[in-house]
Amino acid sequence: MKVVIPAAGQGVRFLPVTKSMPKEMLPVVDRPVIQYVVEEAAAAGADDVLIVTGRTKRAIEDHFDTSPELSHLAGVPALEALEALAGRVRLHYIRQRAPLGLADAVAYAERHVGPEPFGVLLGDTIHRCEPPLLEQLRARFEELGGRSSVLAIETVPDEKLGDYGIVDGPEVRPGVVEVQRLVEKPTPSEAPSRLGITGAYYLTPGIFDAIRATPPGRDGQVQLTDALGRLARTEKVYGVTFRGTRYDIGDRFLWLRANVELGVRDSEVGDRLRVYLERRET
C-alpha cells in the first residue's frame, strides 16, 4: 500500500517555533509527530510512503536518514527503532512549491500513486488505533465494494466544528455514513452535522480529477474537503467511525494535551508524570 503524508502546512499556530522548524517535527513525549505518522502507516502495511514537504521542512528528511555523526550510538533503542522503521518503508519526498492548500499537496502525489487507491495520513495528527487506522479504512473500503473513497470521522464538540471538515449523509450501516454534504471548517449554524474528518483517508485515484476541478475555497486554498465533495458527485464517498484515539496536535493546547495523555502511558516517564499530575490536582 502507498501512503501519502501531506506535511507542507505552515504551522502558523505554532509560531515562532515553526519559523524555521516544521510543525511535524514537534516532539510528543519522545519523538516527533511525523515519526508516529510513519509508524502508523507502516503498522497498517504500507511499504511506500510519500511525504509532501515544502519550505522549512528539511528536518523531516534528515530525521529519517542515517546519521554518520551518531554512528557511535548504534544500538541505542531510540535510534534503532527509527532505523528499523526507515528500513521497513521506502520513503519518498516531494516539495509543494507554494502553500496552496491540502488538496494541492495531495495532487503532488498523482504520478507517484498511479491508478491504485492509496492512504493519506495528515502529518500533524496521531491516530493510536488497533488495528491500525489505515488497515481499518482499507477493510471498510473492501467491504463497501472496493471502488469508493473512505474517510475517518468522529463526533466533535460544537466549539470544534470550525476546526475540521464536517460531513453528513445517511448512515448506511453501523458506523458508515454515505457522504453527501461536506463543509470545511463551518460555523455551528453552517455545520451539516457534528461528524468531523480526523485526517486519515483511503482514496481512489478519482480524487485527482476532482482536485483539478475544485476552485480555491476557504482561505483561498484548494481544500481536500471540497475536492471530496466534488468526488462524491461521481463516486460514492463514505465516512467511517473507527476504533482508537485521535490526537490532533494542530494547536498549542491540543499538542500539550497529547503530550500529557501519551506521556502518562510512556514506560519511562509515565509513572512520574501521573504522580505529578495527581499531586497538582490536590
Three-state DSSP state, 50: strand
153 binds ligand G1P per the rule CB under 6 A: no
193 binds ligand G1P per the rule CB under 6 A: no
226 binds ligand G1P per the rule CB under 6 A: no
249 binds ligand G1P per the rule CB under 6 A: no
9 binds ligand G1P per the rule CB under 6 A: yes
Antiparallel, parallel or unpaired: β 176-178 and 125-128: unpaired
| Shortest CB 221 distance to ligand G1P, Å | 9
| Secondary structure percentages of the chain, helix, strand, coil, to 5 | 40, 25, 35
Give the span between the Cα atoms of 19 and 23, in whole angstroms.
9
DSSP letters, 169-227, are: --EEETTEEE--EEEES--TTT-S-SEEEEEEEEE-THHHHHHHTPPP-GGGS--HHHH
102 binds ligand G1P per the rule CB under 6 A: yes
| Shortest CB 125 distance to ligand G1P, Å | 5
| Shortest CB 255 distance to ligand G1P, Å | 12
Q: Which stretch binds ligand G1P (CB under 6 A): 17-25, 51-59, 127-135, 193-201?
A: 193-201
Q: How distant, in Å, are the alpha carbons of 5, 7, 105, 161 from that of 95?
A: 12, 9, 9, 30
Of the candidates 239, 248, 258, 259, which one interacts with ligand G1P according to CB under 6 A? 248
Task: List residues binding ligand G1P (CB under 6 A).
Answer: 9, 102, 122, 125, 164-165, 184, 196-199, 223-225, 248, 250
